[in-house]
Structure formats: structure tokens, C-alpha cells
Structure 1
């Protein structure tokens, strides 16, 4: 019974098409394309306002060199939010619960920030590995610690997103199973449990949005150190 709870995270195929590929391609179909008209409809206006506000907030701590990443960060934010939110619907698959996908997004973007720092300002990029004023005996130890910390960053990005979404989905399924089991036995307790399930679902919606924002925000902070 416990193993069946993890079946929702298994990527199955339908007519030879992997569902994870379909789930990844779906967000780009849902959003309308901007038009050349002076006045757009409410959906396009709200979409443009959200993307502009998020991009402005995200690029505040960055200098001009980091503004080139605005389109990439905005697209990644919308992409992750859509995947996380669609995964909360019944009979859907959440690609961001797969560690391989999250690491495939986190590692290249983190590596790009490191390469940019090494190319544009190698002295400052390497200076992050050794804080100023460090005693001489502690220099080798601190360099090793900071190097390990640097390489742990993409792992932390991928594992954080995977763990939060996986835990939320498992908890929702566990409580939903409890509601179905308790309904014929103790209806009052089942109703109270269903109320908790509804509140947990609202919390999971917030987690889906917050985790996407945290993922992109941490990438922007890594970029800030290297531009």
C-alpha cells in the first residue's frame, strides 16, 4: 500500500509518448501570445503586468550586466509556476517532482553564472572562495569549505524544489486516502479530515508558487555575485 503512493511520481507513456514530455510542453500552449494592438484583452493585460512586475522586482539588486537575463528568468518563473500548479489537478503528472529534471535546469544555469564570473571578473569570482582577513592557518580549510559550498548550490536548488513538491503531493494523497477510509466508518471525523485536506491544498498552491519564485530568486543571487 505504501509503495502505491509513489506511483504518481512515475513517468508513464501513452501511445508511445512519454507523459513527462507532454507535461513539459503544455505550459507554452496555455499562454496567449501578445498582439500588435494598442489595447489587449484582460488576460493579456494581466499576464503582461505580472511578468513586468516580477521581472522588475527580480532585477532590482542586479547591475546592468545582469539585465540580459531578464527574459530567461521571467520565462523560467512562468514555466515552473505553471508546471507546479498543473500538477495539483487530478489525473495529472508533475515533472518538477523529478530530481533529474530539476537538476537538468539548475546545473546549466548555475554553471553559466560561474562561467560568466570567471570570464568577466576572475579575481572577484575567486575572491569569494576566501573571505578577506582570514588567518593564514585557516586559508586551506576555508578554501575547501567555500569550494564545496559552491558546488552544492545546484544540488540544493534541485533537491529543494523536488523535496517540497514531493512531500506536499504525498501528504495530500495520504490525507485523501484517510478521508475515503473514514467516510463510511466515522463520517464526522471524515468531514473534519476533508476540511484539513482543503486547507492543505491551499497551502500546496502557495508552496507551488513560492518554490518557483525561490528557485529563480536564488539563481539571480548567484548571478549577482558574478556580474
Structure 2
């Protein structure tokens, strides 16, 4: 039983040891694994088709050189999608509500796109810091502004994912608590909060999918600028 609204975001522990790593690995086991048999099942065939379509859609903004990142970005999308959706069920833990987990994903990916740009197209990458045709007096200020905009990208990625999921889970907790209270105190009025809770659940499932897509798509857009 939760003692407060924020106890659902606490990292689960067992025998005094934090179970973050296990909670990160368990959802990945739910993804069907491909087999080496000639006659594959319908599930594997459907999974391969879905992976192909997802990869094609995610890599649309990327250049030819950025296609090397396709397996990584597709895996990232599936991982975030699995974490977000599994965390919607009762008695589960959502790793992506932890800012540390999201920043651990955002920082290396952002740094990888920056280093890729500096290695493959250093001139083009540095040119993003100073738009063409900038007046001479504005050059120092624009360089500072563009540098801050570049450095804040991983923070924006991590905070956006954390804030949206946290707000959604808190709202679900409040509405579910109100629904249980209404059923106990006024059983005849339970239909309204129950309907609201169901609609909110559907919305949160959609938000979980959209957030995984936005995180991956923004990473792909950063990669496009670098390649």
C-alpha cells in the first residue's frame, strides 16, 4: 500500500539492494525474439514487419550516413515504448520516471551525435553555431545562445520524458483514489469517475507511445544535423 503519491516513483528494493537493473531488464524479455527456423511463427513474422516499418519511419529524417544508427534508434524506441507501457500496469515500476535513467540515455546519445558531426563534417557542425549573414555586432551573442541551445538538448530530452510520465502517473493516482473513495461513499455515483479513469488510462497509453517516439525522433533529428 502506497503511503503517498510519490512513493510509486521510489526505486524498488530487495534485501537492501536497489532493483533498478532488474526492472530495466524484465520488460525487454517481453519482446519476442527471432528464431533461426525456416518456418517462423506468425508472431515473429509480424514482429519483423513491425520492426521494418518502425525503422523506416524513424529514419526518414536521417541522411544516408545516419542510417548506420538505425538499429540503435529502433532499439531505443522499443525499449522506451516497453518501459512506458509496462509501467502503466498496477504493481509495476516505470524506470523512465527517474530523471537519472533518462539522462543516462539522453547524454550519451546527444554526445554521440555531436562527436559524429565533428568527425564527419566539422565545418558544417561548427557552422550551426553562427547562422549565415549574421551582423558582426551580434556574432558573440549568437554564438553563446547557439552554444547554450546545443548544450541544453540532452537536458530537454531527459526532463521532457520524466516530467510528462510523472505528471501522468500522479494524475492517474489521484483519479483512481477518487474513484475508490466514490465507490465506497456513494456507490450510485461511481460511473462518472470510473469513466474518467478509463479515458485517462487510454490517454496515458497514447502519451507513453508518443513520448517514446518523440525522444527517438528528436535524437534522429540531432543526428541529421550532424551528418
TM-score bucket (shorter structure)? over 0.9
Query: 1:11-32: per-residue Cα shift (whole Å, max 9, x none)?
Result: 0212355332221001232222
Which residue of structure 1 aligns with residue 168 of structure 2? 168
Which residue of structure 2 aligns with residue 75 of structure 1? 75
Which residue of structure 2 aligns with residue 21 of structure 1? 21
Which residue of structure 1 aligns with residue 132 of structure 2? 132
Runs of 4+ off more than 3 Å:
none
Bigger CA drift: 87-96 or 35-44? 35-44
Which residue of structure 2 aligns with residue 206 of structure 1? 206
The TM-score with structure 2 as length reference comes to 0.95
SS of the residue 2:110 aligns to: helix
C-alpha separation in 2, matches of 1:24 and 1:88? 15
SS of the residue 1:71 aligns to: helix
Residue 106 of structure 1: CA displacement? 0.2
Query: 1:39-79: per-residue Cα shift (whole Å, max 9, x none)?
Result: 32121112111111011112222222111101101111110
Residue 168 of structure 1: CA displacement? 0.5
The TM-score with structure 1 as length reference comes to 0.95
C-alpha separation in 2, matches of 1:176 and 1:219? 35
SS of the residue 1:129 aligns to: coil
Which residue of structure 1 aligns with residue 51 of structure 2? 51
Which residue of structure 2 aligns with residue 5 of structure 1? 5
Aligned pair count reads 226
Please tell me whether residue 123 in structure 1 is matched to residue 116 in structure 2: no
Q: Cα RMSD over matched residues?
A: 1.5
Structure 1 segments unaligned to the other structure (5+ residues): none
Residue 152 of structure 1: CA displacement? 0.6
Bigger CA drift: 180-189 or 4-13? 180-189
Is the 2:28–2:82 Cα contact (8 Å) retained in structure 1? no
Structure 2 segments unaligned to the other structure (5+ residues): none
Is the 2:97–2:166 Cα contact (8 Å) retained in structure 1? yes
Query: 1:159-209: per-residue Cα shift (whole Å, max 9, x none)?
Result: 000011101100000001111112232234332011100000011001111
Which residue of structure 1 aligns with residue 191 of structure 2? 191
C-alpha separation in 1, matches of 2:65 and 2:124? 15
